[in-house]
């Protein structure tokens, strides 16, 4: 770039002197061509075209609303990256392949695991890099000679560019996974504060009874919310750990190892605590859930907070005939209380059983959670988006079906059943199964249930402000978007095009400012806020 221009005063002085020298030979009624011309007021911008009024029968239909999500697990390299130690370019290429597949399938939510076990997939001063990226805890996920990069920032940017919500998934208590190979390094909590971390079976666990462990998790979540423009925060079913058998060879029903929280419980009692240990454990988890809910909404307003617990609730509230594991008694997770207190925005019970599984029938559990959400949660009811065990689908059509190899027809039937029973959403575990198109499942969804894009259901209790209507202008073969106002930021655009007499729906990213008409004779466009609230449509005839 060149140096700074001369000041306006110096320039005018030089021009005046030159004008005086030329005055004798210049026509008196013509100003010197060297003099600065008078400022010209630009013409006013053309007025926005008036909104069109179409007969009700010719208006586009309501925007389809259905949550279509998938978990992206980083622990044990389940989904991404495919293995530790890849070059940064290959990690990015794999992430883009996952994101593109999600876009092609018309998914609108990805739940990315950013904290597998007290570690991070992003640069953090609070926790070390996870070994599932680099192969060694604490080592950055780029090789010698490669440029540094931030995987989470990349995922956020690329998801937003595809109009896909990205929710960050934290494991609140797990401190080391059983598949980990490298030692823990600072600033991992097990190194900085080893008394807060307990070994249980083959894993390390942050003791939920230690207030400092909970405070650390809250600090980690707050840090991510301040630094990244994520759409949601998500925790799964790992509260207190699933019980470990003292003698696994003895099989189910044998004695369980007690979780080693004697020291933290003793301090609670010594401080005047009167709850029995099981109730104290539930109170510890309750407190973290409540504080996570409050932290998410305080640090980044409008961000959804969701929980994905085990799919069977409290024993005394279960439907007749439902049997199995009790998360209330074993994981100390009082999901029904969390619903009642409004400590979550969406519930994703893991309904990981087939439709005809005796004792855990999918339709019965689905109806049960529908009733629980309707009866317990504050009005309007919180979202219910069940988790589906998509990874159980058999890999090929030739593979024999069995308890751990479901036909794709099972998942397709579950999706159809949820629609019939009025549940507008679900999340697949995990995206890898859809990437592999197991038994043709992804192709079948793409042709059928997911053929048309959909908006995420709105969450008006977080922010019910309505975004302003945009203005559409023709710009050659394309249409230009002019947002109506900055008062309510636009997260997405809901777009309808009428082509050949049929309305076709699309969702565009918020930053988009133009799009192709694609042969439409009419279009309609509405802004959609971060919480999914849809504004008024701008209608435009093109023929």
Confidence of residue 50 (pLDDT cuts 50, 70, 90): low
Among the candidates 447, 470, 501, a domain finishes at 447
Average pLDDT over residues 450-473: 98
Average pLDDT over residues 365-381: 97
Average pLDDT over residues 286-292: 98
Instruction: Compute the mean pLDDT over every residue in the chain, rounded to the nearest whole number.
Output: 91
Are residues 156 and 121 in contact, defined by beta-carbon separation less than 8 angstroms? no
36 in a structural domain: no
Average pLDDT over residues 377-384: 97
Six-digit token string for 300:
């980044």
Average pLDDT over residues 504-513: 98
Residues 251 and 397 in one domain: yes
Confidence of residue 29 (pLDDT cuts 50, 70, 90): very low
pLDDT at site 204: 98
Res. 353: pLDDT tops 70: yes
| Cis previous bond, 430, omega within 30 | yes
485 in a structural domain: yes
Res. 341: pLDDT tops 60: yes
CATH of the domain at 229: 3.20.20.80
Burial class (CB in 10 A: 0-12, 13-18, 19+), 137: buried
Q: Distances in Å between the alpha carbon of 517 and those of 60, 498, 508, 538? A: 15, 9, 13, 15
Are residues 427 and 111 in contact, defined by beta-carbon separation less than 8 angstroms? yes
| Cis previous bond, 43, omega within 30 | no
Domain housing 428 = 67-447
23 in a structural domain: no
CATH of the domain at 533: 2.60.40.730
Residues 433 and 466 in one domain: no
Six-digit token string for 16:
């005046």
Average pLDDT over residues 519-533: 97
Res. 478: pLDDT tops 90: yes
37 in a structural domain: no
47 in a structural domain: no
pLDDT at site 252: 77
Of the candidate ranges 14-18, 142-146, 376-380, the one whose mean pLDDT is the lowest: 14-18
- The 10s digit of each residue's pLDDT in 158-212 is 999 999 999 999 999 999 999 999 999 999 999 999 999 999 999 999 999 999 9
Residues 142 and 284 in one domain: yes
Residues 223 and 82 in one domain: yes
Residues 376 and 400 in one domain: yes
Beta strands in 243-396 (DSSP E): 304-307, 346-347, 383-384, 387-388
Confidence of residue 9 (pLDDT cuts 50, 70, 90): very low
Of the candidate ranges 24-28, 93-97, 269-273, 394-398, the one whose mean pLDDT is the lowest: 24-28
**Eight-class DSSP state of 494:** E
Residues 318 and 365 in one domain: yes
Residues 398 and 503 in one domain: no
Residues 434 and 482 in one domain: no
Residues 181 and 225 in one domain: yes
Please tell me the total count of domains within the chain.
Answer: 2
3 in a structural domain: no
Residues 138 and 272 in one domain: yes
Res. 54: pLDDT tops 60: yes
pLDDT at site 302: 98
Residue bearing the bigger pLDDT, 40 or 229: 229
Res. 414: pLDDT tops 70: yes
pLDDT at site 51: 63
Q: What is the DSSP string of 183-235?
A: PP-TTSHHHH-GGGEEEETTEEEE-TT-HHHHHHHHHHHHHHHHHS--SEEEE
Helix or strand holding residue 175 (H, E):
strand 174-176
Six-digit token string for 399:
């593979």
For residue 205, the cross-strand partners are 174, 198
pLDDT at site 21: 31
12 in a structural domain: no
Average pLDDT over residues 103-117: 98
What is the C-alpha to C-alpha distance for residues 102 and 397, in angstroms, rounded to an integer? 22
What is the C-alpha to C-alpha distance for residues 197 and 205, in angstroms, rounded to an integer? 5
Residue bearing the bigger pLDDT, 376 or 252: 376
- pTM confidence score: 0.90
Residues 468 and 534 in one domain: yes
Average pLDDT over residues 219-223: 98
Res. 38: pLDDT tops 60: no
Q: Distances in Å between the alpha carbon of 467 and those of 300, 450, 488? A: 19, 27, 5
pLDDT at site 454: 98
Among the candidates 392, 417, 447, a domain finishes at 447
Residues 413 and 495 in one domain: no
Among the candidates 384, 413, 447, a domain finishes at 447
pLDDT at site 377: 97
Res. 25: pLDDT tops 80: no
377 in a structural domain: yes
């Amino acid at each position: 770039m060149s140096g700074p221009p001369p000041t306006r005063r110096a320039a005018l002085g030089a021009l005046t002197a030159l004008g005086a020298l030329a005055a004798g030979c210049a026509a008196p009624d013509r100003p010197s061509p060297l003099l600065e011309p008078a400022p010209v007021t630009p013409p006013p911008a053309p007025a926005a075209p008036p909104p069109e009024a179409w007969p009700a029968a010719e208006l586009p239909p309501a925007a389809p609303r259905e949550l279509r999500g998938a978990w992206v697990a980083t622990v044990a390299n389940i989904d991404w990256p495919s293995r530790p130690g890849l070059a940064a370019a290959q990690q990015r290429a794999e992430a883009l392949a996952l994101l593109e597949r999600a876009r092609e399938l018309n998914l609108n939510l990805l739940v990315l695991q950013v904290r597998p076990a007290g570690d991070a997939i992003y640069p953090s001063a609070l926790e070390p890099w996870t070994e599932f990226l680099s192969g060694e805890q604490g080592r950055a996920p780029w090789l010698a000679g490669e440029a540094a990069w931030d995987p989470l920032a990349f995922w956020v940017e690329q998801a937003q560019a595809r109009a896909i919500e990205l929710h960050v998934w934290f494991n609140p208590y797990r401190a080391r996974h059983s598949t980990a190979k490298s030692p823990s390094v600072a600033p991992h909590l097990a190194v900085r504060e080893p008394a807060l971390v307990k070994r249980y079976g083959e894993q390390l666990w942050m003791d939920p009874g230690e207030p400092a462990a909970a405070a650390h998790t809250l600090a980690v979540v707050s840090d991510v919310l301040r630094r990244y423009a994520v759409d949601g925060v998500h925790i799964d079913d790992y509260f207190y750990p699933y019980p470990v058998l003292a003698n696994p060879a003895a099989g189910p029903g044998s004695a369980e190892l007690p979780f080693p929280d004697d020291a933290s419980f003793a301090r609670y009692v010594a401080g005047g605590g009167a709850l029995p240990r099981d109730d104290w454990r539930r109170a510890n988890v309750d407190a973290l859930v409540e504080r996570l809910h409050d932290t998410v909404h305080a640090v980044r307003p409008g961000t959804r907070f969701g929980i994905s617990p085990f799919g069977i609730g409290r024993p005394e509230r279960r439907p007749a005939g439902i049997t199995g594991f009790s998360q209330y008694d074993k994981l100390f997770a009082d999901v029904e209380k969390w619903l009642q207190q409004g400590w979550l925005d969406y519930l994703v019970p893991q309904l990981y059983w087939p439709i005809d599984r005796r004792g855990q029938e999918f339709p019965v559990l689905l109806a049960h959670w529908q009733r629980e959400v309707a009866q317990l949660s504050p009005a309007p009811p919180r979202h219910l988006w069940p988790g589906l065990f998509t990874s159980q689908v058999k890999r090929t059509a030739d593979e024999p079906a069995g308890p751990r190899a479901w036909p794709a027809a099972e998942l397709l039937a579950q999706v159809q059943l949820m629609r019939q029973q009025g549940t507008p959403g679900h999340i697949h575990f995990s995206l890898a199964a859809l990437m592999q198109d197991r038994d043709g499942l992804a192709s079948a969804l793409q042709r059928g249930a997911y053929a048309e894009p959909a908006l995420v259901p709105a969450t008006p209790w977080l922010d019910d402000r309505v975004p302003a209507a945009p203005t559409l202008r023709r710009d050659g073969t394309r249409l230009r978007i002019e947002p109506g106002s900055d008062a309510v930021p636009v997260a997405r655009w809901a777009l309808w095009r009428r082509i050949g007499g049929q309305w076709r729906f699309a969702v565009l990213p918020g930053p988009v400012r133009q799009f192709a008409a694609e042969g439409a004779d009419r279009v309609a466009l509405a802004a959609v806020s971060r919480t999914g609230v849809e504004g008024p449509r701008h209608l435009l005839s093109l023929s």
